[in-house]
Every structure is written in structure tokens, then in C-alpha cells.
Amino acid sequence: MDPSPSGTDPALGRDLDVVVVGAGVVGLSAALALQATGRRVAIVTADAVSDTTSHVAAAVWFPTEVGPQDRVAVWGRHTFEVLSATARDHPAAGVLLRDTVMLYREPPGRPWWAAAVDGVRDARPEQLPPGYAHGLAFSVPLVEMPVHLAWLVARFTAAGGRLHRARLTSLRDLAGVAPVLVHCSGLGARDLVGDTSVVPVRGQVVRTTNPGLTVSLRDQHHPDGYTYVHPRTDDVVLGGTLEVGRSDLVPDPDVTAAILARCTALAPALADAEVIGAAVGLRPGRPTVRLEVDERTVPGTVVVHDYGHGGAGVTLAWGCAAEVVRLVEART
């Protein structure tokens, strides 16, 4: 980015209240939540929205590999409520309420995340694939990300928001642009603020045609790897991998074959499905989500960090956005 000598990028203008860095689902949700308070908001993003990790996410509500649990439970519950209302009230938003069965080989007890979800119950025996003695059944939002992200962007820009492409070298590149920066760059935090605790967690998925599936299946502890079957309107997203520290984006054909084999064992109807393609995304892994105020990184500017959501960006985005609003309002 090439700011003017005054520190203000002319393309962004001089009348902003907040600049959000990052246009994945976390950044877009924060921008919309701030915009709803009457603030003038712009988003700065290095990549097109269609090139973000969010765009390829399987995107079914579930707190995958993320902490801390107490705050995640609160953020997740709020997001569950927002997405459930979106599914009900906005048919064009790309959000569905999808019946889900979580599969276990041993009794699961009451998971810590269950309080954030309505109606978690024991799965019926006929809902369990061969090899599984236990399961939990519930309904959660499933988000068709290509549709949903476009819908979020349209809402943001229709309300006067500005979406600006620029590759920053540091958050200080935005000094003087607005009194508040909300930092939602995900993996970009390694470079923008030097946070080396953020690591890529590579996730590969496979898309197939939908042979008539309507229930999501998930085995978090499959001995051959993280496994899920998430039917969308016109396709099914199959996964997956959780490869910490690996950052290449080229799908591995052997991994594709292994995912197909594991998922077909859970849902035999997939044997008749056509493979559409495979994709890779890099989740922003971190020991815990960083959601806090920082008044030192960019002198004279309130920075709110909101990153490190691992595989749970969709699950936590609106809850974190509500907390971002509270933090901003407490300081402006």
C-alpha cells in the first residue's frame, strides 16, 4: 500500500470511523456489525473475497480446533442464533439449517459445546453408520460460502461500505486513515503484527454432486483422519485434513482418494456421486483466538485484534463481531 504523506490513502477517503483489515467471514461480519451502529466503515483486503480461505470452507457450525472454550461457547452461541435467523429470514443468503449426526465409537458424554446448540440429543440407532455405537444428533447452520460471502459483501456495499484491495506490509501502513482499525487478517497476522503463534492448518476438501443426501455426518476422531460429509443444495463437501504447519495449496490426489473412501463408508450413496473437484484452504491456527484492544501497535489508533479462529471462523464470526463492537464503543 502506498499511503499519502499524511498517512491517509486517498482511495479510502478521509471520513472513515473504522477500517477493517481482512475480507473473510470474520472481517465481513465485524464490518457489518460496526456499520449497523452507524459507523462509516471500509474494508482493506489483500485478496479478493473469492480467494479467501472462507470461500472454500465447508462451513457447518462447529467449534473445530479453537479456544478458549469459555469464550468460544459464548461467541458460538451468538453466531448460532444469528445464522439460524439468517436461514429463516433471508433465503438468498446461502444459509441452511442442516440436521447433523456426530459419530462416536465410545460414549461421548455431554460435549462442552452442546450448550451453544439447540436440542442436542442421542442419535437413534438407525442414524448410525456401521462401526459406530454412539452419536449425537442436532441441527446447525450450514453456510454455502460462495453464495453467503457475496451476500455479505452486497449488504456491506449497499449500506455505503467501501471494499479496497491493498497488500499491507504492516498495520502501520494504515496510520491516520481512521481512529479505529479492526484487524481480521487471519494468517496475515504473522506478517502484519509479527504473531508467530499463528500457523497454517491446511484443510483439503472434495466436492461431489449430491446424490440426495440431507444429513451432515461428522467423525472428529476417525482413525484415518478427520472425516465429514456436508450436503449443500447442489453438491456435497467432503473432508478433510487438519495439517498443522503445511501451507501448499495444491490438492493431493492421494488425499482426495482417501477422503472419498472414508466419506463413502459413512454415506454409501456417495458411491454414485460425480467428483466435481478438490480444494485446499489454510485455516489460521492459534492456541486461542486473539480478540482484544491494542493501543500500541499503531500510535494514535485504537486497534482491535480479531483473528486466530482456526477452523471455526464461520462458527464464531458474529459472536466475535458483537464483542468487537463492545470494545470499540468502550473506547470511542
The predicted-structure confidence for 159-204, as pLDDT tens digits, reads as follows: 999 999 999 999 999 999 999 999 999 999 999 999 999 999 999 9
pLDDT band at residue 308, thresholds of 50, 70 and 90?
Answer: very high
Mean pLDDT of all residues in 148-158:
98
Tally the domains of the chain: 1
What pLDDT is stored for residue 332 in this prediction?
86
pLDDT of residue 2: 40
- Examine residue 296 and state whether it is found in any structural domain, yes or no: yes
Residue 64: its pLDDT value, please? 87
- Give the strands of the sheet with 302-307, arranged side by side: 162-165, 41-45, 18-21, 180-183, 302-307, 290-294
Query: Cα–Cα distances in Å, from 10 out to 13, 41, 160, 185?
Result: 5, 15, 17, 22
pLDDT tens per residue across span 107-135: 999 999 999 999 999 999 999 999 999 99
Instruction: Say if 241 falls within a structural domain.
Output: no
Q: Using 50, 70 and 90 to split pLDDT, how confident is the model at 1?
A: very low
- CA angle 93-98-104, nearest 5°? 145
203-233 per-position pLDDT tens digit: 999 999 999 999 999 999 999 999 999 999 9
Residue 121 in domain = no
Predicted pLDDT of residue 157: 97
Query: Which pLDDT does position 9 carry in this prediction?
Result: 53
Are 29 and 93 in contact, with CB atoms under 8 Å apart?
A: no
- The answer to the question of residue 216 being in a domain is no
The pLDDT value given to residue 7: 39
Q: Which pLDDT score, from 0 to 100, does residue 5 have?
A: 30
What sign for the dihedral angle of Cα 175, 177, 303, 183? negative
Q: Answer whether residue 116 is part of any domain.
A: no
pLDDT of residue 4: 34
pLDDT in tens, 6-38: 334 556 767 899 999 999 999 999 999 999 999
Rounded Cα–Cα distance for residues 149 and 54 (Å): 8
pTM over 0.85? The answer is: yes
Residue 131 lies in a domain: no
Quick check: is 271 in a domain?
no
Nearest-angstrom CA–CA distance, 304 and 290: 9
Domain span at residue 169?
A: 1-96+142-198+286-332
Q: What is the pLDDT of residues 154-167, one digit of tens each?
A: 999 999 999 999 99
Answer whether residue 255 is part of any domain.
no
CATH number at residue 188: 3.40.50.720
